[in-house]
Amino acid sequence: MKTMLYSLTLLVFISLVSCETVHYNNPEVRRLAAKIEIVEGNLPADKYELLGVVEGVDCSATWYTKSTSEGAMQKIKAEAAKLRANALINVACENTGMSWKYNCNNSVTCFGDAVIIHKQDKGMPLTSDK
C-alpha cells in the first residue's frame, strides 16, 4: 500500500512539472505560425479582432544551455496559429529564470495578444477575409 501511494504521488508530481508542449507535429499549425506577423506600436481597436492572450515558453532543462526569446516567440506564434490569428500585438518577453511549472533550469516567457487584422490600411500590411 505504501509503495502504491508513493508511485501515485510520483506520477502526479511528474505530470505537474512536465514540459509544455506545442503541436509542432501538426503541419497546418506550422504553416499558419510561419505567416503570423508581430505588429509593433498601437493599433486602433476597430482594425482588429482580439482572439485571446497567448503565452510561449522556451525552456532549458540543463544548466549549460540557455533559453532564448526566439524559441519563446516560435511557441507564441504556434499558440496564436491554433487560434487562427494572423498577427500578434502587445508582445513582451522576459527572462523568467528557473521554473518549477515547466521543469526548467532557465526559461524565457513571451506573452501577446493573438488577433486578426481585417483591413489593409496604412501601416497595417495584413489582411484577412474571415
Kindly report, residue by residue over 64-108, the tens digit of the pLDDT.
788 888 999 999 999 999 999 999 999 999 988 887 777 788 889
What digits encode the pLDDT tens for the residues 5-31? 454 443 333 333 334 444 567 888 888
Beta carbons within 8 Å of 92's beta carbon, 6+ residues apart: 110, 111, 112
Beta carbons within 8 Å of 102's beta carbon, 6+ residues apart: 17, 19, 20, 57, 59
What pLDDT does 51 receive? Answer: 96
Considering the four listed CATH numbers 3.30.420.480, 3.40.50.720, 3.20.20.100, 3.30.110.70, the one that applies to the domain covering 19-117 is 3.30.110.70
Question: Per-domain residue ranges for the chain?
Answer: 19-117
pLDDT tier for residue 121 given thresholds of 50, 70 and 90:
low
**pLDDT exceeds cutoff 80 at 109:** yes
**pLDDT exceeds cutoff 50 at 127:** no
**pLDDT exceeds cutoff 90 at 62:** no
**pLDDT exceeds cutoff 70 at 119:** no
b/e sequence 8-22, b meaning 16+ C-beta within 10 Å: eeeeeeeeeeeebeb
Position with higher pLDDT, 1 vs 128: 1
What pLDDT does 45 receive? Answer: 80
